[in-house]
Chains A and B, each alone.
Chain A
Amino acid sequence: MVCVAHYGVFVSVEELTLAQAHELRRGTVVLACLALLREPSYGYALLETLNGAGVSVDGNTLYPLLRRLEKQGLLTSEWNTDESRPRKFYRVSPDGSLVLAGLVREWQDLSATIARLTKENG
């Protein structure tokens, strides 16, 4: 195992990669949420879908995030009392759709930039 000295503590390259990858993915949760919520969904189901799709996120992070996006006007919500438990369903607002489109563009730009950078230095 390759180890790197990091403030005197030895951390494996695998662990460092994992930590950095986590940082990278963190910013993508909002994008993934907005994309998924074009169809209305509720907290736990959304968490499952996200994790199933490989966007790993904690409930601790996701549920407050949904509230924040709602407060910013990017999501709208509605209580659904038809089922056994009352559930709060979220979906993107018109503003949210615009932000989503902007983020998708940003994502594609970034992806192209990184592809170019890694090619030149590869």
Chain B
Amino acid sequence: MSTSSLTERYVDEVVRRLPAAQRDDIGEELRTTIADTVEAREAADPQSAEREVLTEMGDPVRYAARYTGRPLALIGPDLYPAYIRLLVLLLSSVLPVITTVSVLVELADSGDVGAAVGEGVTTVLTLGAQMIAVLTVVFALVDRLRSRDGAPARSAAWTLADLPEPRKKDKVGIMDALGAAWYALLISLTVWQHVAKPYGADGHGGGKAVEVLDPALWSGWIWPVLLGLAAMLALSAARITVRGWTVRLAVLNAVAQAVFALPFAWILQHRMLFNPEFLKTAGTDALTQEVYSGLAVIVLVLGASAVVTGFRSARR
């Protein structure tokens, strides 16, 4: 590799990102400047000096951006608050509403609970992904179009009306109490359906009683799931007593979430959750592999977000 080709390649990499009218001028100046800098090092080996100089100048993409003022972020600081606000609004209100409607419609249509759950999962995943993707693309485009003009226009101005209501201290306690009740319910239901075998396999109540969940789980995967649930139950109780999060609780929460969510997602993904006999007689064929995978992804995402929430709350 000849010495000159390194500089040439660097200059090319910079100028091809500049407006065509400026390329020759900036390229010529850059070449001279690099040559001046290399010469001033008075190195015995000019080739290694050139390498040094170019390395110090850094990424050509970054360097070109300094000339054009083009943003190096997908969505810049001007638009970021509006982007996050809109994203949270869409995902926390519009998405649940549409999902609920589509689940109800499917339920009224077919009367099949499995199909309705499948519809809900599909809606959350596809519509949620579309919302995120479209919003991101639109904001990124707007950011680029604006910064070309030079003058950064104010995004939707913030007013006092945007201030959220103060968070109530008691809310933490109520949410944790609800959480604890939910985990206790899940544990009880799991154990109850194992002991009581509530489902009549022939559909007339008189036949063989079977479990809803796969009995094979009890010789393996159900234990970490139950252990994780029990740990989360204990942690909810602990948060109620200490009135909030601590770093230690957040760490324990992360462990508990992992102990619960990873095996549970694995069970879902490999279709090991439900008793085959139960599925045969319940007559739901809507629980396809896609629905199971979707549920597994949702379990993992919810677990991860619970871990993040724990750490962020503990930091405050």
Q: Which residues of A contact B (CB under 8 A)?
A: 42-45, 48, 59-61, 63-64, 67, 79, 85-88
B26 to chain A: which residues have CB within 8 Å?
Answer: 67
Choose, from B27-35, B89-97, B168-176, B291-299, the stretch at the interface: B27-35
* Chain B interface residue number, banded: 10 to 19
Q: Is the CB of A43 within 8 A of B33?
A: yes
Chain A, residue nearest B31 (CB):
A85
B205 to chain A: which residues have CB within 8 Å?
Answer: none
Q: State the Cβ distance, B184 to closest chain A Cβ, in Å.
A: 35
A79 to chain B: which residues have CB within 8 Å?
Answer: 28
Chain B, residue nearest A66 (CB):
B29
Q: Is the CB of B36 within 8 A of A44?
A: yes
Chain B, residue nearest A88 (CB):
B29
Chain B, residue nearest A42 (CB):
B32
Chain B, residue nearest A44 (CB):
B36
Q: Is the CB of A60 within 8 A of B66?
A: yes
- Given A44-B37, A44-B40, A60-B57, is A85 in contact with B66 using a C-beta cutoff of 8 Å? no
Chain B residues numbered 27-66 whose CB sits less than 8 Å from any CB in chain A: 28-30, 32-33, 35-37, 40, 57-58, 62-63, 66
B67 near A: Cβ within 8 Å? yes
Q: Is the CB of A61 within 8 A of B35?
A: no
B25 to chain A: which residues have CB within 8 Å?
Answer: 88
Chain B residues numbered 1-43 whose CB sits less than 8 Å from any CB in chain A: 25-26, 28-30, 32-33, 35-37, 40
- Given A64-B66, A67-B26, is A86 in contact with B32 using a C-beta cutoff of 8 Å? yes
Q: Is the CB of B66 within 8 A of A61?
A: yes
Q: Is the CB of A43 within 8 A of B32?
A: yes
A61 to chain B: which residues have CB within 8 Å?
Answer: 66
Q: How far is the CA of A42 from the CA of B33 in the complex (A)?
A: 9
Q: Is the CB of B28 within 8 A of A59?
A: no
Q: Is the CB of A60 within 8 A of B63?
A: yes
Q: Is the CB of A85 within 8 A of B32?
A: yes
Q: How far is the CA of A86 from the CA of B35 in the complex (A)?
A: 11
Chain A, residue nearest B26 (CB):
A67
